[in-house]
Structure 1
Amino acid sequence: MSSSSQYRFSRQSQHSSQRYDPTLWQRIHIDPWLTLLLLTICCIGLTILYSASGQDSDMIIRQLISYGIALVVMVVMAQIPPSIYRAFTPILYILGLVLLVLVGVIGEVRMGAQRWIDLPGFGSVQPSEFMKLIMPMMCAWFLSKRNLPPSLSSITVTLGLIIVPVLLIAKEPDLGTSLLVAASGLFVLFLAGLSWWMIVSTLALSIPIAAFTWYFLLHNYQRMRVLTLFNPDVDAQGAGWNIIQSQTAIGAGGLTGKGYLEGTQSQLDFLPEGHTDFIIAAFSEEFGLLGVILLLVIYTCLLSRSLYIAFTHPDIYSRLLAGAIAMSFFIYVFVNVGMVSGILPIVGVPLPFISYGGTAIVTLMAGFGLLMSIHTHKPQ
């Protein structure tokens, strides 16, 4: 996307003298295409989860409950006009920062990470998940109030809005979520119309930042994940075990797969986290390359519909926010498939709507609720 096309994206407007006549779907604020694609992916997720979990019916029921809650959240969020989200965005951002700070002070420690906080009446929550939506909302709110393409001062302030929560999340430690939160904010900045010289300068600046992160911020196990990316056999029984077993499962599937419930890597527990982060490896072993291609086509259709909503909306805030949500969804899929296939380091990113887990599903579905709200409400 060139800087001129970015600018057209950020400034595009629609002018029509025709009377606004909402359809039935617009009146109930639901996009049928997004809903159909989401339900299709959820059905695929339940199918492969049943196999990858060793036919654990209790896990399937819990996942069904998560889907149900997530769909309710999506429908509720779709009913709220984008103007309401825009008005409350700064408050949500400040509240998110307060929760992230509280995590570092009174947060619960699980498996060596301090990522959860116990809120009376809500139970244990992970504030970093909220920032996946609040971050693009805040960046879109800030930039939509300024001239676009953004000036250097606007870019600096936006980067500050991104860096503060990202560092708080990385300190928990949660490298995967911090990268996703950073990406969601950077997508807004990019769509606002950054010039290419700024993009190139940022990429050049990322080299010393990456070096600093490697030596001073990453934990030993995180460095080992990067090293095993290039040579999994360096620690075949330790850090390299996941990627070796994952690649074995993918290769064993071939073109058409071994058949449903016939995947030996997952059924015999050779594949670690086969029901969560590495579930696409179990899917690939049973349904092969053709099955993976079909799944990626459905993901692509979902992404295309989301980008269509973003590109056709006349309001700057809504367009920037919708574009960032769509591209963040793409990053979810790309990072998960990349790390499972061995082209990216393992950072613990689930496959959207396929991997087992409630929090990520609800957060993702809430994002699509925002997209539906943007698409179905009459611009003000």
Structure 2
Amino acid sequence: MSAVFEKPPLWQRAAPMIQGFDGPLAFAVFLLACAGLLTMYSSGYDFGNRFLDHGRNMLIAGTIMFVVAQIPPQRLMSFAVPLYTVGVALLVAVAVFGITKKGAKRWINVGLVIQPSEIMKIAMPLMLAWWFQKREGQLRPLDYVMAALILVAPVGLIMKQPDLGTSLLVMAAGVSVIFFAGLSWRLIVPPVVIGLVALVLIVVFENQLCADGFRWPILHDYQQQRICTLLDPSKDPLGKGFHIIQGMIAIGSGGPLGKGFMQGTQTHLEFIPERTTDFIFAAFSEEFGLAGNLCLIAGFVFLILRGLAIALEASTLFSRLLAGAITMIFFTYAFVNMGMVSGILPVVGVPLPFISYGGTAMVTLGLGLGILMSIAKSKRLVQT
């Protein structure tokens, strides 16, 4: 009789919680996390407790990923409208009585100081995926217009703070959902062409557009300065162009194989600004060179391809759209960060996933990975 009531071993009780986890995705994240810890140790070893804090943030993100992965996609869908509504309400509250730091009003005190725009990185794809799921099989052009309004409202509030980096990430997540939902190419091509033409005109007429006293409509002064600095950082090498110039010097000085671990002179002589956060890619490039960069990029490419594969294999439209959008968030993070450090994109506050220091960004990454794991897990459990 005692054998009947004997408890199963702990590993057997924990097995259902781990069963169905996507191994290739977890392996890619593990490799990127190792690269992040290695780089943070080198670039931040004389930066207080930054390395230990980075490891702690990774553990928090991993815990969040594990917990969220236990929530079925159907349950995640029920959070879409409440989370989006709360996020927009908090953004409105920030605009009315938010906390201003360094000229930007991005925070609000609700018992603790939070940055509501971070909520929208996950709330936006959740909401739009829910919207298209509810209209599956009966989509009309008006539904895409409504989806665009759902996207534009919070993005506009975030840009007003101003926070170009976060608004870009939220916009990318929302546009990804709308695109994957079947938006016609005829509606996508014209804005892309207009954007490319505008880019060419900015380059051609740089001297006139970036002349002293000339102000661009829509953009804030600092955003205009960032674009003009990108076009010619040598105009202010010790001021606004310093970040870009030092980042490019560090990347170039790494050469094919890099200077070696802990041997980066630009990094350790503190020429690279924000070397543990936004510009950590420059520190990585200096020490590990082109070979290290190719390996890092390969890791991100594998992560993105695996995320898209999970999206393709998902069993519902909601899961497919959500997995695709979350994957594109990872792509946008990596592409924008590497681009701005390399001098091909304006400098915005976008960290490099798993590499850059930052607790809030790491929590967002953990949530995103948890959602991808949940979708992959639900598919495997259905198949078994």
Under TM normalisation by the shorter chain, which class is it? Answer: 0.7 to 0.9
Contact 1:131–1:181 (CA under 8 A) maintained in structure 2: yes
Question: How far 1:125 moved relative to its partner?
Answer: 1.6
Q: Partner amino acid for 1:171?
A: K
Which residue pairs with 1:376 in the alignment?
377
Question: How far 1:118 moved relative to its partner?
Answer: 2.1
d(CA) in 2 for partners of 1:49, 1:34:
22
Contact 1:333–1:351 (CA under 8 A) maintained in structure 2: yes
Structure 2: tracts of 5 or more residues without a match: 1-14, 203-214
Which residue pairs with 1:269 in the alignment?
270
Question: How far 1:55 moved relative to its partner?
Answer: 3.4
Contact 1:228–1:239 (CA under 8 A) maintained in structure 2: yes
State TM-score, norm by structure 1: 0.88
Aligned with 1:30 (options 12, 21, 37): 21
Contact 2:216–2:224 (CA under 8 A) maintained in structure 1: no
d(CA) in 2 for partners of 1:288, 1:156:
46
Q: Partner amino acid for 1:61?
A: L
Contact 2:261–2:288 (CA under 8 A) maintained in structure 1: yes
Cα distance change on mapping 1:209 and 1:78 into 2, 3 Å: farther
| % identical equivalent positions | 47
Question: How far 1:27 moved relative to its partner?
Answer: 5.3
Contact 1:149–1:193 (CA under 8 A) maintained in structure 2: no
Question: How far 1:379 moved relative to its partner?
Answer: 5.8
Which residue pairs with 2:294 in the alignment?
293
CA RMSD of aligned residues (A): 2.2
Alignment of 1:164-183 (within 5 A): 164-183=153-172
Deviations 1:296-352 (A, max 9, x none): 111111111111100011200000110111112111111111111111111111000
Cα distance change on mapping 1:161 and 1:209 into 2, 3 Å: farther
d(CA) in 2 for partners of 1:304, 1:149:
30
Which residue pairs with 1:90 in the alignment?
81
Q: Partner amino acid for 2:301?
A: T
Q: Partner amino acid for 2:159?
A: A
Q: State how many pairs are aligned.
A: 354
d(CA) in 1 for partners of 2:235, 2:16:
55
Contact 1:50–1:57 (CA under 8 A) maintained in structure 2: no
Question: How far 1:209 moved relative to its partner?
Answer: 10
Alignment of 1:1-380 (within 5 A): 28=19, 30-56=21-47, 58-120=49-111, 123-147=112-136, 150-203=139-192, 215-377=216-378, 378=381
Structure 1: tracts of 5 or more residues without a match: 1-23
Cα distance change on mapping 1:352 and 1:137 into 2, 3 Å: same
d(CA) in 1 for partners of 2:252, 2:198:
36
Question: SS at the partner of 1:117?
Answer: strand
d(CA) in 1 for partners of 2:100, 2:33:
31
Which deviates the most, 104-113 or 367-376?
104-113
Q: Partner amino acid for 1:112?
A: G
Contact 1:50–1:56 (CA under 8 A) maintained in structure 2: no
State TM-score, norm by structure 2: 0.87
